[in-house]
């Protein structure tokens, strides 16, 4: 069983040397152990659209509140793309929701456990563009509602694309494997396995691979109350 689990996990990781990635879930359409409510079956884009409409906002309204381009918002709501983590923070604040709700709403439990083989990697752009845009993320607490922290495993793929992010809250990063380039404001640091960083995410920041191999990071985001 352990050998089969290790084999499945190895096959799920992207392989930059081949210029391709393994297949990933593009949407969190189901969470193991979660009650199958309508909210649980929704994609992140479905939740964004529904909450926006419940708030009586247009796409243009949401764009002005978040600074996210209307075309990008339309692609998110149609599930063509998945929001970056920083975009989820901005969407949560603009819609008066915790960012984690859009990844997975969770249910009311005092404790949850996510087994390694039950995690669902989320690709921002799907398999065809994942190498170009550089990362996947896995929520480590999808079943816990009203999360104050948002823990993720982030898999960064070498890419020439650089996305500067700015949003409310703080972030903690711990490098598991590979090498990470972290820029916060004008400060640039290169982190290796075992290195950690904690910073205010209201500062412009960039997180990307520093070398030519896949980098995996434990990332914990705190965005404050909704």
Read off the pTM: 0.66
Is the model's pLDDT at 55 over the cut of 70? yes
What integer best gives the mean pLDDT of the chain?
Answer: 77
The dihedral built from the CA positions of residue 65, 50, 108 and 24, taken in this order, carries a sign that is negative
Give tens-digit pLDDT for 163-205.
888 888 899 999 999 999 999 999 999 999 999 999 999 999 9
Structural domain count of the chain: 1
**Residue 187 region by backbone torsions, left for phi larger than 0, else alpha for psi between -120 and 50, else beta:** beta
Structure tokens at 88: 């989820």
Least confident interval from 59-68, 87-96, 121-130, 203-212? 121-130
Give tens-digit pLDDT for 63-98.
999 999 999 999 999 988 888 888 888 898 899 888
Full residue range of the structural domain in which residue 167 is found: 2-222
pLDDT of residue 197: 98
pLDDT of residue 158: 87
CATH number at residue 105: 2.60.120.10
Residue, of 135 and 124, whose pLDDT is higher? 135
Is the model's pLDDT at 144 over the cut of 50? yes
Residue, of 8 and 62, whose pLDDT is higher? 62
Is the model's pLDDT at 40 over the cut of 60? no
pLDDT of residue 32: 29
pLDDT of residue 31: 28
d(CA 44, CA 87) in angstroms, rounded, equals 12
Tally the C-alpha atoms within 13 A of residue 199's C-alpha that lie toward its C-beta.
23
Mean pLDDT, rounded, for 95-110: 78
Q: 3-class SS at 78?
A: coil
Is the model's pLDDT at 36 over the cut of 70? no
Structure tokens at 137: 């993320």
Q: Which strands form 205-209's sheet, in the order they lie side by side?
A: 187-191, 180-184, 205-209
The dihedral built from the CA positions of residue 90, 96, 99 and 103, taken in this order, carries a sign that is negative
């Amino acid at each position: 069983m352990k050998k089969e689990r290790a084999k499945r996990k190895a096959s799920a990781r992207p392989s930059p040397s081949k210029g391709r990635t393994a297949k990933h879930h593009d949407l969190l359409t189901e969470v193991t152990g979660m009650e199958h409510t309508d909210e649980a079956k929704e994609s992140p884009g479905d939740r964004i659209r529904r909450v926006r409409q419940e708030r009586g906002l247009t796409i243009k309204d949401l764009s002005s509140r978040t600074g996210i381009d209307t075309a990008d918002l339309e692609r998110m709501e149609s599930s063509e793309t998945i929001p970056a983590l920083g975009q989820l923070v901005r969407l949560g604040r603009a819609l008066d929701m915790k960012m984690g709700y859009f990844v997975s709403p969770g249910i009311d439990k005092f404790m949850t456990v996510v087994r390694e083989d039950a995690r669902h990697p989320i690709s921002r752009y799907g398999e065809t563009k994942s190498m170009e845009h550089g990362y996947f993320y896995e929520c480590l607490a999808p079943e816990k509602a009203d999360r104050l922290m948002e823990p993720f495993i982030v898999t960064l793929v070498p890419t020439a694309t650089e996305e500067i992010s700015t949003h409310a809250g703080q972030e903690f990063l711990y490098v598991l494997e590979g090498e990470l380039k972290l820029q916060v404001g004008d400060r640039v640091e290169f982190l290796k396995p075992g290195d950690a960083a904690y910073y205010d995410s209201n500062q412009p920041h960039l997180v990307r691979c520093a070398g030519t191999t896949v980098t995996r990071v434990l990332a914990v985001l705190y965005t404050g109350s909704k």
